[in-house]
Amino acid sequence: MLETLRRIVQEVNAAPDLSAALEVMVSRVRKSMGTEVCSIYLLDHGANRYYLMATEGLNKSAVGNATLHFSEGLVGQVGMREEPINLDDAPSHPKFRYLQETGEEPFHSFLGVPIIHHRKLLGVLVVQQRESRKFDQQEEAFLVTISAQLAAVVAHAEATGAIDGIFGNKGTLTAKFDGVAGCTGVAIGRAHVVYPPANFKSVPDRAAKNIKKELRALNEALKSVRTEIRALGEKALLTLPPEEQALFQVYERMLDDAALAGEIRARIEAGNWAQGALREVVLKHVAAFESMEDSYLRARASDVRDLGLRILAYLQQSKPQNTTVPPNTIIVGDDITPTIFVDIPRDRILGIVSQHGSSNSHMSIVARSLGIPTVVGVGDVPLSRLEGLELIVDGHRGEVIVSPSGEVLRQYRAIIDEEKQLSKELEVVADLPCITTDGHRITLYVNTGLMADVGISIQRGAEGVGLYRTEIPFMVRDRFPSELEQMEIYRQQLEAFHPASVTMRTLDIGGDKALPYFPIHEDNPFLGWRGIRVTLDHPEIFLVQIRAMLWASESLDNLRIMLPMVSSITEIEEAMHLIHRAYLEVLEEGAHVVMPQVGVMIEVPAAVYQCREFVQQCDFVSVGSNDLTQYILAVDRNNRRVANLYHAFHPAVLRALQTVVTEVKAEGKPVSICGELAGDPRGAILLMAMGYDTLSMSASSLLRVKWVLRKIGLARAKEILQQVWTMDNAQVIRSHMDLMMERAGLGSFIRPMHFPGPAKEPTT
């Protein structure tokens, strides 16, 4: 069963379009279940009707014509009940509805299962049989499993607009894709697709501008791969048995004109650029091999893919650098990381769209610090078809609109103008202190990571740095930076903010933060080797970093050091020991530095319960609410499937935040918060009421938060918090906060005025 299932899914995924995928599905399911009919009815949500979209066994002429209202027939019953219906005599069921054009009269047995994706009903998959019998448990389970797989294919087609075509809807070419808000704001620009090296998934189709040039690039790449394969073959003579050595000759033959090369050339001559042509040919052969019965031949699929990737790697090396992107570009890609800023000048990037990521992934955090409207987790966006198209990035609602119509463009342009106006108004508070209407003083720090953050942070009146993410300069290099290199980078930060303090977090890699030159592969990266765990296991990396920080602070003395992801006292003790050692070393070497304050981040539940003991070992704590939320709720902060469960306003998270501030204050030590919740005006109100007197946030949130806190009294914030304590769920709390903001006349700080409702995803 599993093998059959795997094969069907592979064939369905390899189909060129939705209609072909549905055809493959009905024919394979009918064959493998040995039934007489298999049909797929898809629900047209606009018309509220099912349409027969594919069938084997009913009249083919009924496809696209046979239709049922949402509540009609057995199909309607399956959809409404959202569970399988298994009948031995369908025509005798009161809901049976005879559709003449399908010719289904002679069939008695009926098994229908709903096609559901992420709670949304998309259609119904049906098998029927002449003989009157109930389908057995195994058959039912098989159909349910197949339907779950089909759901992903249909959902993708729906998201990309392909489904409108098969329902015959005319509509416009505009398509909208849902993701998660990474950075608020709206951008309108042209898509430029960037792709990681050697990855077919994100190679776009592009018209070849110069066919001769593309053919030359292909020839060069083929020549290099041949040389590479020959060299590997020679090595293999010494190491591999003769039957394995033959593989290299097979590889070489596959590169011949009579095989892959000829086909790729033909597609280039037909107008596709070399990478697109290569992708088409290689994926076609991979799919063909993968669907073969014979296991030896099936395994050849990986040979073709491997060869294809080698050619692609050479083609991509010769591609023009990304620095040539035109102004007003929206960067789009599979998994965009902050390293794009190395290749592309910042001022050309108006917006960012990434298929992966979440509102708290690193890309989003960096985008927020630079104020670039960003939507992440847009899994369905068809990368290969976007190049050069006009896009709207709606970072408030987490949406991307492709080829917007004139009216939509007009509305969004109005929003952009309105936002510009709002930020101008906000600038008046830049040099004012953050004091509430009843005289309570709050300190607002910024989170930084790039040098680009510094200018705007100072311009917006940041009182210091509550979190400097040191991993960002590590991420944009191809090796660990040396002590001197680090020292120079840190010195720039310390000097820029002097005499205000700069809190430098020690290297926090692992989880979602990978260094290209220090890969960590784990099944459960967020529960694995990350943060302080990595650096304590590599004292040489840790010591170099601390020494660089200490040297950088010479004669400035505004450095604070902070340790990430601490979950036990021993980690603090060990880190303190290393920090003192580094301190003594630099003193002996002649540095004139004072011992900096050292703090720990509260990011895991263990740290919440032990924050008192933790702070007794150090000078301050700062809550990393991004990680704390993910660990308290057991929701991966980067997983778009569960993005709707990630709520910093969850009562359990809020209680943990209250516990930390109460306990640490009882020890008489400073406590701040540097997670994204602090940069959400609603979060800032609650945090101030809890007792946090230092909030650290991205520079782009600073003025909004300051404006809002200056408009509210501490006493009022405490009243709101008291109301929140009586609420038992995150959505209610968030809506309550929205309402409070509206009532205080601060609604425009949580959503732009044009939108009818609140943003779908929290902006934190």
Interface with Mg ion (CB under 5 A), residue from 79, 481, 624, 681: 624
Using CB distances below 5 to 8 A depending on partner kind, what does residue 467 bind out of Mg ion, ligand PEP, none? ligand PEP
Using CB distances below 5 to 8 A depending on partner kind, what does residue 544 bind out of Mg ion, ligand PEP, none? none
Distance CA 467, CA 625 (A): 12
Applying the rule CB under 6 A, the residues between 346 and 375 that interact with ligand PEP are 365
Question: b/e per residue, 352-384, with b = 16+ CB within 10 A?
Answer: bbbbbbbbbbbbbbbbbbbbbbbbbbbbbbbbb
Q: Check residue 636 for interaction with ligand PEP (CB under 6 A).
A: no
Q: Residue with structure tokens 């609420």?
A: 727
Nearer to Mg ion, 285 or 469 (CB): 469
CA angle, corner 600, sides to 595 and 604, nearest 5?
Answer: 170
Using CB distances below 5 to 8 A depending on partner kind, what does residue 596 bind out of Mg ion, ligand PEP, none? none
Q: Check residue 683 for interaction with Mg ion (CB under 5 A).
A: no
Interface with ligand PEP (CB under 6 A), residue from 419, 463, 627, 663: 627
Q: Check residue 638 for interaction with ligand PEP (CB under 6 A).
A: no
Question: b/e per residue, 481-515, with b = 16+ CB within 10 A?
Answer: beeeebbebbbebbebbeebbbbbbbbbbbbbbbb
Interface with ligand PEP (CB under 6 A), residue from 625, 638, 694, 698: 625
Element (H, E) at 331: strand 329-333
CB of 432 closer than 8 Å to CB of 223:
no
- In whole angstroms, how close is the CB of 531 to ligand PEP at the nearest point? 8
Longest dimension (CA), the chain: 95
Q: Check residue 603 for interaction with ligand PEP (CB under 6 A).
A: yes
Q: Check residue 214 for interaction with Mg ion (CB under 5 A).
A: no
Other Cβ atoms less than 10 A from the Cβ of 229: the count is 21
Q: Is 117 a catalytic residue?
A: no
Nearer to ligand PEP, 272 or 358 (CB): 358
Q: Is 356 a catalytic residue?
A: no
Distance CA 454, CA 428 (A): 19
Q: Residue with structure tokens 């820029």?
A: 496
Applying the rule CB under 5 A, the residues between 346 and 365 that interact with Mg ion are none
For the stretch 347-354, contacts whose Cβ atoms lie closer than 8 Å and that sit 24 or more positions apart, written own/partner, are 350/187, 350/188, 350/189, 350/393, 351/187, 351/189, 351/375, 351/391, 351/393, 351/395, 352/182, 352/183, 352/376, 352/393, 353/179, 353/191, 353/378, 353/381, 353/391, 353/393, 353/400, 354/182, 354/378
Q: Check residue 62 for interaction with ligand PEP (CB under 6 A).
A: no
Q: Check residue 562 for interaction with ligand PEP (CB under 6 A).
A: no
Q: Check residue 395 for interaction with ligand PEP (CB under 6 A).
A: no
Nearer to ligand PEP, 84 or 624 (CB): 624
Applying the rule CB under 5 A, the residues between 564 and 603 that interact with Mg ion are 603
Applying the rule CB under 6 A, the residues between 455 and 484 that interact with ligand PEP are 467, 469
Beta strands in 678-751 (DSSP E): 694-698
Question: Looking at 362, 396, 647, 650, which residue is catalytic?
Answer: 362
Distance CA 646, CA 429 (A): 32
Element (H, E) at 114: strand 109-117
Q: Check residue 636 for interaction with Mg ion (CB under 5 A).
A: no
- Cβ-proximal residue to ligand PEP, closest one: 624
Nearer to ligand PEP, 350 or 365 (CB): 365
CB of 434 closer than 8 Å to CB of 441:
yes
Question: Applying CB under 6 A, which part among 120-128, 369-377, 585-593, 619-627 lies near ligand PEP?
Answer: 619-627
CB of 690 closer than 8 Å to CB of 440:
no
Size of the site for ligand PEP (CB under 6 A): 11
Applying the rule CB under 6 A, the residues between 666 and 705 that interact with ligand PEP are 674-675
Using CB distances below 5 to 8 A depending on partner kind, what does residue 549 bind out of Mg ion, ligand PEP, none? none
Distance CA 727, CA 200 (A): 48
Phi and psi, residue 652, nearest 5°: -65, -40
Residue in 472, 448, 513 with CA at minimum distance from that of residue 696? 448
Interface with ligand PEP (CB under 6 A), residue from 102, 369, 374, 626: 626
Q: Check residue 446 for interaction with ligand PEP (CB under 6 A).
A: no
- In whole angstroms, how close is the CB of 608 to ligand PEP at the nearest point? 13
Nearer to Mg ion, 147 or 448 (CB): 448
Nearer to ligand PEP, 218 or 673 (CB): 673
Using CB distances below 5 to 8 A depending on partner kind, what does residue 469 bind out of ligand PEP, Mg ion, none? ligand PEP
The set of residues, in sequence order, having a beta carbon less than 8 Å from that of 345 and lying 6+ positions away, is 323
Which residues would be at the binding site for ligand PEP (CB under 6 A)?
365, 467, 469, 508, 603, 624-627, 674-675
Catalytically active residues are: 362, 674
